[in-house]
Amino acid sequence: MQAIKDKHLVKTHSYINGQWHKSHSTFAVTNPATSKIITTVDNAGIVEANLAVRSAKSALQSWSAMSAHQRATILRNWFNLMVEHQDDLARILTLEQGKPLAEAKGEIAYGASFVEWFAEEGKRVYGDTIAAPSADKRIVVLKQAIGVVAAITPWNFPNAMIARKAAAALAAGCTFVVRPSEQTPLSALAMAELAHRAGIPEGVFNVVVGEDAKAIGEVLTQHPDVAKFTFTGSTAVGKTLIGQCASTVKKVSMELGGNAPFIVFDDADIDAAVDGAIASKYRNAGQTCVCSNRIFVDESVLAQFTEKFSQAVAKLKLGNGLEQTTDVGPMISAQAVSKVEQLVKSSVDEGATVILGGKVEPVGSSFYQPTILANVSPEMPIATNEIFGPVAPIIAFRGEAEVIAMANNTPYGLAAYFYARDIGRIWRVAEALEYGMVGINEGIISNAAAPFGGMKQSGNGREGSKYGLDDYLEVKYLCMGGLAK
Ligand code: NAP
């Protein structure tokens, strides 16, 4: 914490109606690299969640009535402050989440890019005029802010998952309440401090930090004044929250889990495929929703790919994210490590072979070695579950048809990747994959200009891009009649 230059960015209370709100109890925030407590944070609950929704409701009328240009100016201030404080925000993020500092800086830039993007995009919300069926009528379509938006976000991208939602909501004219993961509240509160400095009016952006996810979640999903609920997290929790939203028929968008295939065809550039696999697998210690989860390799290039991939993974340095030399940081907790250990063990029991790593690192209980498993079959637990850790299972295949069937054989449909050169194959495979996002000869696919989101049980709605505002807008049709003389 000493290295943080602007100490006022470290906040420990919920931010509601433009003020820092005290609660009666506290909870601890822990550094996953050292298992040491960083600080304690006031523990908000149902009362604060209700208060935040009320504040957002009170602020809605004036915020939505502002011109998109006025809102853009304020959002642009927020973006500038995030860029200006990138180093401090990244350090706070690494301390509570664990990812290497360079990755944390990348996340702050990525999060800020959505604020910049939607500040601009908010000016381009267009309505429509439609030819009416009779001469004395006119049909006009308006797009209006949906209202109060509530959000729940996970710990793996504690800045960007909030920025991606809040920027779109605020640009559309909505007000916003977010409950971040209890494991990473500090990044969210630092964003609130910068929102305050940027001039975002009171009640427009609220952060409720508290341990009781279920209780706060019930307020945010069932409150009649919340018009739209947006969630990023696991599919299991997402399904529960969709159910809770039913009682008030909220508009819902969900960014849920994945089981991304990464396919290396026989005509692939193997070196590029190795680079792509490393980037898409080991970033954030394998804890991203778009991480490669099953690496399918054509059997004719299996030996070549496996050798080069193993050599490259062996060079990755595991360590505390604050150390310059670290490539892969800790996982979020010792429990997350045990889940991965269990998946590896049960797959090895079924015949998989550990060819690299496969152990908890002695430096700390939250560190799991970058691992490669060979001789994996698609039915093994490591291939059917979302691993969410630094383990790459390699599955051999023969031909396009077989691998497309295997890749699509999952309830998930978030991201997929493939490496090939033949242009006919590229089109066939891209169109056949049942995924919301497909990286073709590319392992890093997410940016503010592109629509991020999944198919099947990976969710609905899109974040970022020109489509990202739609989830925060209502379409209203005006029928103007009586025009005949
Ligand atoms: P999770 O258990 O679903 O938690 C996500 C968030 O929901 C956290 O803030 C959590 O709070 C909260 N939560 C948990 N149970 C809740 C309940 N009953 N009511 C209300 N809130 C509840 O997911 P996770 O393991 O932390 O995060 C990883 C998952 O997120 C993975 O499946 C990953 O694929 C997915 N993800 C998806 C995307 C995407 O864009 N599609 C992006 C990132 C992550 P606490 O943490 O405080 O318990």
User: Ligand 1 pocket, 53 CB below 6 A?
Assistant: no
What pLDDT is recorded for position 485? 84
- Look at ligand 1, atom 46, and give the residue with the nearest C-alpha: 181
Ligand 1 atom closest to the Cα of residue 289 is 34
455: left (phi over 0), alpha (psi -120 to 50) or beta: beta
Helices (H), 350-441: 381-384, 400-408, 423-432
pLDDT at 166 over 80: yes
Cα of 234 from ligand 1 centre, angstroms: 5
The secondary element (H helix, E strand) that includes residue 336 is: helix 334-349
Please, how many CA atoms are within 13 Å of residue 312, restricted to the half-sphere of its CB? 19
Ligand 1 atom closest to the Cα of residue 221 is 20
For 59, 146, 166, 475, the CA distances from 126, given in Å and listed in that order, are: 24, 15, 20, 11
pLDDT average, residue stretch 52-76: 98
Tens of pLDDT along 168-207? 999 999 999 999 999 999 999 999 999 999 999 999 999 9
Cα of 152 from ligand 1 centre, angstroms: 8
Cα of 51 from ligand 1 centre, angstroms: 23
Tens of pLDDT along 235-283? 999 999 999 999 999 999 999 999 999 999 999 999 999 999 999 999 9
pLDDT average, residue stretch 19-28: 96
Helices (H), 31-159: 46-65, 68-84, 86-97, 101-121
The residue to mutate among 41, 152, 211, 471, having the most atoms of ligand 1 within 8 angstroms of its beta carbon, is 152
pLDDT at 364 over 90: no
Tens of pLDDT along 435-478? 999 999 999 999 999 999 999 999 999 999 999 999 999 999 99
Domain spanning 260-449: CATH 3.40.309.10: yes
> Is the CB of residue 48 less than 8 Å from the CB of residue 23?
yes
DSSP string, 152-216: E--SSSTTHHHHHHHHHHHHHT-EEEEE--TTSHHHHHHHHHHHHHHTPPTTTEEE---S-HHHH
User: Ligand 1 pocket, 322 CB below 6 A?
Assistant: no
Cα of 457 from ligand 1 centre, angstroms: 14
Ligand 1 atom closest to the Cα of residue 182 is 47
What pLDDT is recorded for position 338? 96
Tally Cβ neighbours within 10 Å of residue 322: 18
What pLDDT is recorded for position 84? 98
User: Ligand 1 pocket, 222 CB below 6 A?
Assistant: no
Cα of 424 from ligand 1 centre, angstroms: 39
User: Ligand 1 pocket, 259 CB below 6 A?
Assistant: no
Q: pTM of this prediction?
A: 0.97
- Look at ligand 1, atom 19, and give the residue with the nearest C-alpha: 214
User: Ligand 1 pocket, 358 CB below 6 A?
Assistant: no
> Is the CB of residue 327 less than 8 Å from the CB of residue 282?
yes
Cα of 303 from ligand 1 centre, angstroms: 37
The residue to mutate among 181, 226, 230, 231, having the most atoms of ligand 1 within 8 angstroms of its beta carbon, is 181
Tens of pLDDT along 369-411? 999 999 999 999 999 999 999 999 999 999 999 999 999 999 9
DSSP string, 462-476: -BSTTTTTGGGEEEE
Tens of pLDDT along 307-356? 999 999 999 999 999 999 999 999 999 999 999 999 999 999 999 999 99
What pLDDT is recorded for position 328? 97
pLDDT at 362 over 80: no
- What is the architecture, at CATH level 2, of domain 7-256+458-477? 3-Layer(aba) Sandwich (3.40)
Please name which of 474, 453, 460 lies closest in space to residue 161, comparing C-alpha atoms: 453
Ligand 1 atom closest to the Cα of residue 255 is 41
pLDDT average, residue stretch 411-430: 98
Catalytic residues: 255, 289
Tens of pLDDT along 121-134? 999 999 999 999 99
The residue to mutate among 155, 214, 447, having the most atoms of ligand 1 within 8 angstroms of its beta carbon, is 155
Report domain extents, the chain.
7-256+458-477, 260-449
- 438: Cα separation from own chain's centroid: 16
User: Ligand 1 pocket, 371 CB below 6 A?
Assistant: no
Cα of 436 from ligand 1 centre, angstroms: 19
User: Ligand 1 pocket, 103 CB below 6 A?
Assistant: no
Cα of 254 from ligand 1 centre, angstroms: 11
